[in-house]
Amino acid sequence: MASPTHPTGGNLTAREHPTPKGNPMPLEAGLLEILACPACHAPLKEQDAELICTGQDCGLAYPVRDGIPVLLVDEARRPA
């Protein structure tokens, strides 16, 4: 079986392989340790396809799209 190719030619690496819809790609090891909430600077925890702020008064939920955290306050979901 041939390996998938990159649009610019050549083979895709394991990191570039697309993931099926509905099956979020886990974050790279160690990345979560250095990320913080842009609004309050509290640590984030991974839950489903989101990164949730652990700050008591914040609690924003940031989406993770195609394995990439979108750490924009305007894109975050407010706590219920």
Four-way CATH pick for 27-75: 2.20.25, 1.10.287, 2.40.128, 2.40.10: 2.20.25
Phi, psi angles (nearest 5°) of residue 16? -90, -5
Rounded CA separation 57/43 (Å): 13
Amino acid 61: pLDDT: 97
Amino acid 19: pLDDT: 43
With beta carbons less than 8 A apart as the criterion, state whether 70 and 63 touch: yes
**64: β partners:** 69
Amino acid 10: pLDDT: 58
- pLDDT tens for the chain, 80 residues: list them: 555 555 556 554 444 444 444 545 567 768 888 999 999 999 999 998 899 999 999 999 999 998 889 999 999 999 87
Amino acid 4: pLDDT: 56
